[in-house]
């Protein structure tokens, strides 16, 4: 493989694939127990599926989920996934939010271009700025009116920030709430992942020592159950230091396998250039939740603190011991915080109607 592939997937945003050896290692730590062994991860059936055309014609795979118990939704929640993942990564959030009755919510989930079931990005379009326009296209197509809550994990959070920059009127008029999970507004190389790992010109590191610094999840090595050190580092950067369900590890592997390494490398430049602190001003009309794990080795908690410093009214939540995949690793905490945000947004609607 050439330097354009170096360091892309496992080192970038915590969705490093894992091998059967990693799953076996984690299973051994749990004494054979796996709390999610029977969980249908990523297999929940949507209420509706559709395809939305982006402004440049790229086909985006979209799903909608209605309230499980019926009734008119008070809010539409749009879930925007992270790099190298897919809409399936929201399994636990999607499952819990569908059961809500206070407030009832309709969920919209979709795959970024070059991810999941969406079409591959056309040349030159693998940029956060384009992802924000894709998000806007999805909202216009399947949620054209009514109050919104936008929830973004990692790259998804960056996408929401850019949308706030290019369409501040949407946030002023419709976006009641925003949740930013394990994400960053810029300076990605300042903490956690080295900036050099984001350069498509970065040469393949020589030797295990350099590989251990920033390339623990090199996809092809992991998929072929390569070096044992690489497997351990993949596990180390994907999750926090505690025990992790082997089923979750396999689930991540399945998601990652859908999107090719070549497609993912196209996003390196935009991630390395990401700086949207100024765009956070566009969230001033929304109730904001900022949540991150304090064991996230890729986008450490300092990134969440910096976002919260720019948004003094935001709720900042530290997930103790969680890694980058906090939405899978600590779903109960994430769900509780999201439900609290949704309730605040619904209460805000009621207060405005009474005023």
Contact 23, 246 (CB under 8 A): yes
At 76 the three-state DSSP class reads strand
pLDDT at position 238 is 75
Q: Which two tokens stand for residue 217?
A: 């999840």
Start-to-end CA distance of the chain, whole Å, equals 62
Question: Given the DSSP bridges, would you call strands 148-153 and 175-181 parallel, antiparallel or unpaired?
Answer: parallel
pLDDT at position 209 is 31
Based on C-alpha coordinates, what's the Rg of the chain?
19
Q: Which residue has the tokens 């994430």?
A: 334
User: CB under 8 Å to 307, separation ≥6 — which residues?
Assistant: 180, 183, 184, 185, 280, 290, 314
Rounded Cα distance between 174 and 197, Å, is 37
pLDDT at position 237 is 67
CA 88 vs. chain centroid, Å, equals: 10
pLDDT at position 247 is 87
CA 212 vs. chain centroid, Å, equals: 24
**pTM of the complete model:** 0.82
Rounded Cα distance between 249 and 240, Å, is 13
pLDDT at position 122 is 95
Residue 59's nearest CA partner among 67, 68, 49 is 49
CATH number for region 9-354 = 3.40.50.1820
CA 332 vs. chain centroid, Å, equals: 17
At 291 the three-state DSSP class reads strand
Q: Which residues of the chain have pLDDT under 50?
A: 1-30, 193-231, 234, 350-355
Q: Count CB atoms within 10 A of the CB of residue 32.
A: 9
- Phi then psi for residue 151, to 5 deg, are -125, 120
| Cis status of the peptide bond prior to 103, with omega within 30 of 0 | yes
Question: Given the DSSP bridges, would you call strands 48-53 and 287-293 parallel, antiparallel or unpaired?
Answer: unpaired
Contact 100, 75 (CB under 8 A): no
As a whole number, the mean pLDDT across the chain is 80
pLDDT at position 109 is 98
Q: Which two tokens stand for residue 191?
A: 């903490």
Q: Is 267 exposed, middle or buried (0-12, 13-18, 19+ CB in 10 A)?
A: buried
Contact 155, 82 (CB under 8 A): yes
Let me know the angle formed at the C-alpha of 135 by 130 and 136, rounded to the nearest 5 degrees.
95
Contact 61, 94 (CB under 8 A): no
User: CB under 8 Å to 321, separation ≥6 — which residues?
Assistant: 240, 241, 242, 293, 294, 295, 330
């Amino acid at each position: 493989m050439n330097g354009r592939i170096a360091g892309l997937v496992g080192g970038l945003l915590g969705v490093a694939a894992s091998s059967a050896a990693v799953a076996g290692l984690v299973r051994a730590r749990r004494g054979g127990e796996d709390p999610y062994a029977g969980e249908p991860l990523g297999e929940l059936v949507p209420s509706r599926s559709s395809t939305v055309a982006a402004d440049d014609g790229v086909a985006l795979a979209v799903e909608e989920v209605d309230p499980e118990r019926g009734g008119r939704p008070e809010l539409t929640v749009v879930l925007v996934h992270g790099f190298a993942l897919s809409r399936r990564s929201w399994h636990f959030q999607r499952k819990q939010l569908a059961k809500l009755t206070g407030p009832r919510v309709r969920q919209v989930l979709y795959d970024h271009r070059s991810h999941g079931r969406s079409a591959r990005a056309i040349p030159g379009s693998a940029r956060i700025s384009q992802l924000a326009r894709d998000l806007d296209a999805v909202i216009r197509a399947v949620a054209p009116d009514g109050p919104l809550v936008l929830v973004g994990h990692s790259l998804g959070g960056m996408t929401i920030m850019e949308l706030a920059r290019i369409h501040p009127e949407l946030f002023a008029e419709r976006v009641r709430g925003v949740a930013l999970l394990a994400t960053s507004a810029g300076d990605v190389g300042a903490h956690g992942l080295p900036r050099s790992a984001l350069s498509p010109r970065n040469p393949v590191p020589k030797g295990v020592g350099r590989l251990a610094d920033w390339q623990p999840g090199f996809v092809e090595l992991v998929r072929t159950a390569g070096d044992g050190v690489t497997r351990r580092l993949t596990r180390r950067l994907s999750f926090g230091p505690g025990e992790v369900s082997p089923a979750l590890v396999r689930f991540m592997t399945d998601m990652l396998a859908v999107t090719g390494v070549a497609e993912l490398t196209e996003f390196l430049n935009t991630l390395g250039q990401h700086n949207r602190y100024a765009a956070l001003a566009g969230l001033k009309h929304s109730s904001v939740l900022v949540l991150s794990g304090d064991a996230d080795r890729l986008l450490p908690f300092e990134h969440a603190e910096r976002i919260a410093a720019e948004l003094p009214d935001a709720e900042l939540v530290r997930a103790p011991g969680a890694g980058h995949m906090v939405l899978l690793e600590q779903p109960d905490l994430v769900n509780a915080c999201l439900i609290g945000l949704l309730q605040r947004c619904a209460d805000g609607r009621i207060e405005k109607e009474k005023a």
